[in-house]
A and B are shown apart, each in its own frame.
Chain A
Amino acid sequence: MTHKYLSQQGLASLVGELLAAGTRVIAPVRAKDDAEQVDYQLIDSFADAAFGVRLPRRSLKEFFLPATEVLLHYKQTKSGVEIREVPTVAPPQVILGATPCDVAGLAAVDKVMNWDYRDELWFGRRDATTIVSFLCNIMDATCFCTALGLGPESFTGSDVMLAPVDGGYLAYLVTERGEALLKGHGEEASSETIAHADAARKEARSKVEPNLEAIPAEFSTWLASNFDNPLWKTIALRCHGCGACAAVCPTCHCFDIVDEHISTDEGVRRRNWDSCQTSLFTLHASGHNPRASQSERFRQRIQHKFSIYPSRFGELLCTGCGRCSRACPGGMDLPTIVSELVTLSQAKTEVSGQ
Chain B
Amino acid sequence: MNELREVARKLLAEGTVNVVIGYEEGPRGVRPAFITAAEQADKLVFDTRCVQNLATYLNPRRKQVTQLGKAAVVVKGCDARAVAGMIREKQLERENIVILAMRCGGVLQNPETDTELTAETVSVRCAGCTAREPKLFDHLLGELPPEPPVNRQRLEQIAALEKMSPAERRSYWNEQLSRCIRCHACREACPMCFCVKCTAEKSQPQWIDSSSTLQANRAWQTMRVLHQAGRCVDCMECERACPEHLPLGVLARYVADAVERRFDYKASDDPTVPAPIGVYKTDDDEEFIR
Contact = CB atoms under 8 A, between A and B. Distances in A.
Interface of A: 31, 33-34, 37, 57-58, 67-68, 142, 233-234, 236-244, 246-248, 256, 258, 260, 270, 272-273, 275, 278, 280, 292-295, 325-327, 329-331, 333, 335-336
Interface string B27-71: 111111010000000000000000010001100001111011000
A286 to B, nearest CB: 15
A208 to B, nearest CB: 15
Given A242-B184, A258-B210, 12 more contacts: A34-B245, A68-B213, A233-B67, A240-B189, A244-B242, A270-B211, A280-B201, A292-B63, A294-B63, A295-B64, A331-B30, A333-B27
A33 B244 CA distance: 10
Interface string B169-208: 0000000000001111111110000000000010000100
Given A244-B242, A273-B183, A293-B63, A238 B32 contact: yes
A278 B62 CA distance: 12
B210 A256 contact: yes
A247 B64 contact: no
Contacts of A278: 184, 188
A68 B64 contact: no
Contact of A244 (B62, B185, B213): B185
B64 A57 contact: no
A68 B56 contact: no
B185 A243 contact: yes
A326 B241 CA distance: 10
A271 to B, nearest CB: 9
A242 B188 contact: yes
B64 A293 contact: yes
Interface residues on B, range: 35 or more
A92 to B, nearest CB: 26
B32 A247 contact: no
Given A67-B181, A292-B63, A247 B243 contact: yes
A248 B243 contact: yes
Contacts of A270: 211
B89 interface: no
A33 B245 contact: yes
B26 interface: yes
B64 A237 contact: yes
B120 interface: no
Contacts of A68: 181-182, 211-213
25 contacts: A67-B181, A68-B213, A233-B67, A234-B34, A234-B64, A237-B57, A238-B57, A240-B189, A240-B241, A241-B188, A242-B241, A243-B184, A247-B183, A260-B206, A278-B188, A293-B62, A293-B67, A325-B28, A329-B185, A329-B189, A329-B240, A330-B32, A331-B29, A331-B32, A336-B26
B270 interface: no
A127 to B, nearest CB: 25
B247 to A, nearest CB: 8
Nearest to A33: B245
